[in-house]
Structure 1
Amino acid sequence: MKTNANSFDFRQTISKHSCIVMQSLLFDLDGTLLDHFICLARCYEHVLGELEQPIPSREEIRRAVGGSVELTMANFVPSEIHTDACERWKKHLTSIVTENAYLMPGALPLIQELKNQGRQLAIFTNKVGEQSRVLCDHLEISQYMDTVIGTDDTPYRKPHKEFSEHVLRALRANPNNTALIGDSPYDIQAAHAVNIPAYCVTTGTHTEAELQAADADGIFPDLPALGKALFGFELLTEIA
């Protein structure tokens, strides 16, 4: 059943993927729980400058991110220096990884409330696993997560089916009561590869139209809207 934030009414929508049975939840990181774009953009600017390559605008970088550094970097450098560029990028990100890193509005109360209800929670991301764990510690959300899995933890990345199977095994999760919460077509493909629903927010780099075209099971403007629609939460968020 496809939903959007304007038409979704949980009280009238009971399905096998409703909040009643979603015991395990896989959260994407960048663009979903975490706003880390400025830090990532700085890494591309730094590495491309070092390699004397044209430096794209922030908007061009925003349109390119969402998969993995290998996929994104391929948009900006020739193949003969691609591997070197990716290694430089990862090294530089490690040195500044906690800078310009912020939880999305509603992220903390959402995961706190879900954990209070006894649900399994995991970070499932195309960000490097070790960097993801450092960020979760820095943002003080590690305590709510049963596992944090990223690229370099396995040979795979989203949307590889094997990557999705790996996180399900790590949680010992039942696909029949598991859902993925993300912000990109990669998240949707990764979820559908193992027959679980993908509920998406538009706080990342992809539009509602792009997420609809990718066959998202639900699309919401932000985490508070998702939390209310799927779980009946009224999330309080800080006002900047």
Structure 2
Amino acid sequence: MRLVVFDVDGTLVDSQGDIVASMTAAFGDVGLAVPARAEILSIVGLSLDVAMVQLAPEADTERMVRSYKDTYAHLRATKGAASSPLYPGARDALDHFAGRDDVLLGVATGKSKRGLDSLIAAHGLEGMFVTRQVADFHPSKPHPSMIHAALDETGIEASDAVMVGDTRFDMDMATNAGVAAIGVAWGYHPRTELGAAHQVVDSFADLPAAIEKVLEASA
């Protein structure tokens, strides 16, 4: 059996519009200038409290986190699945892996449990992921806790697992957990920051072959 663990924002779904809008609201709530879009996207993948401290270390980050979550929840309720659309090819790739007898799927995300549950419901992905690791219960990436928990829940050895993500936090988390890492080129961190990846793919169509290659190499 193999375990494929996916990041969410920037990997499976393109949520940058709502992320930037929610961060804009959070900064406005405390009267601070909003960072550039690129700076906001650079912290995607971190748990929200850690991300806020990085962006605004002197601010009331607890208040900013509340404002961000309230805005994001409102946008999600208003827009539904359009709030975080799946990237082209994502659903086909998930269906492909879910249809295999030798693969289990999981997620490891900086989202809250509420946020992930809502996204999964919006896209009809219930039952797709046998393990869901969220920010509520773990230190922020790149700490390996999420992957360690996913391995424990599924009984899969680290040599039979791979992390798929779009940020250096995902790649470093995989390295810290002793599992293979595959970067995706369509997300929020440039390819140059995915140096810890065993391989970087340009489309979901390339993912099955990339997973086979990196897992064979780590066996």
> d(CA) in 2 for partners of 1:186 and 1:60?
15
Give the aligned partner of residue 216 of structure 2: none
SS of 1:144's partner is coil
- Aligned match for 1:45, one of 9, 20, 24: 24
Q: Percent identity?
A: 22
Comparing both chains, which one has the higher relative contact order based on Cα–Cα distances under 8 Å and sequence gaps of 6 or more? Answer: 1
Give the aligned partner of residue 61 of structure 2: 82
Kindly report which structure 2 residues correspond to 1:12-161, keeping only aligned pairs within 5 A, or say none: 23-97=2-76, 98=80, 99-118=82-101, 119-152=103-136, 154-161=137-144
> d(CA) in 2 for partners of 1:40 and 1:54?
16
> d(CA) in 2 for partners of 1:130 and 1:171?
22
Answer 1 or 2: which has greater helix percent.
Answer: 2
Give the stretch that moved more between structures: 77-86 or 105-114.
Answer: 77-86
> d(CA) in 2 for partners of 1:157 and 1:224?
30
Give the stretch that moved more between structures: 162-171 or 106-115.
Answer: 162-171
Runs of 4+ in 1 over 4 A off after TM superposition: none
Displacement of 1:201 after TM fit? 0.3
- Aligned match for 1:220, one of 181, 201, 206: 201
After superposition, the Cα gap between the structure-2 partners of 1:163 and 1:66, relative to the gap in structure 1 and judged at 3 Å, is: closer
CA contact (8 A) 1:105 1:224 kept: no
2:187 aligned partner, one-letter code? G
Q: Does 1:196 align with 2:179?
A: yes
Q: Structure 1 regions of 5+ residues with no counterpart?
A: 1-21, 233-240
Aligned pair count reads: 208
CA contact (8 A) 1:130 1:150 kept: no
CA contact (8 A) 2:52 2:65 kept: yes
Q: Structure 2 regions of 5+ residues with no counterpart?
A: 214-219
> d(CA) in 1 for partners of 2:158 and 2:210?
21
SS of 2:127's partner is helix
Q: CA RMSD in A?
A: 2.0
TM, length-normalised to structure 2: 0.86
